[in-house]
Amino acid sequence: SNITFTMIKPDAVADGHIGAILGKISEAGFKIKAMKLTQLTVADAKKFYEVHAERPFYGELVEFMSSGPIVAAVLEKDNAVEDFRKLIGATNPAEAAEGTIRKMFARSVGENAVHGSDSNDNALIEAQFHFSGREIF
């Protein structure tokens, strides 16, 4: 599969970075297959981040991800998962490379501006979590 799933997280939406982040994504050659402004419920955020349930930051992560609007999107490009993770940079913006989305726009390791799927399988699962078949073009 050549798709990945992303969220522009509540920090970056609140900080007014939607347009700039979509610009970087577009310049990097990703095509938008689906997109919406939405807000996760606490239950949605718990389910989406279920794999992190045992991590010490899980509660904080769930609270943050449900705290305000996000942009959810499905993106298409050759090698989408890997290339998108390169574009966003390291989880911690202090360790992210110059020019990456997290380096430019993230507040902190938790409030780190964007999500990117970590595998092709998860990209599909995450896309289907947020979008129906009719919403993906």
Catalytic residues: 115
CA distance 65 to 70: 8
Listing DSSP states for 35-63 in one string gives EEEE---HHHHHHHTGGGTTSTTHHHHHH
69 vs 110, beta carbon nearer ligand ATP: 110
DSSP E strands, the chain: 3-8, 31-38, 70-76, 114-116
CB of 129 to ligand ATP, least distance (A): 13
> In this structure, are strands 70-76 and 3-8 parallel, antiparallel, or unpaired?
antiparallel
Contact residues toward ligand ATP (CB under 6 A) are 52, 57, 60-61, 91, 109-110, 112, 115-116, 118
88 vs 137, beta carbon nearer ligand ATP: 88
CA distance 33 to 10: 21
CB of 52 to ligand ATP, least distance (A): 6
61 vs 74, beta carbon nearer ligand ATP: 61
CB of 17 to ligand ATP, least distance (A): 15
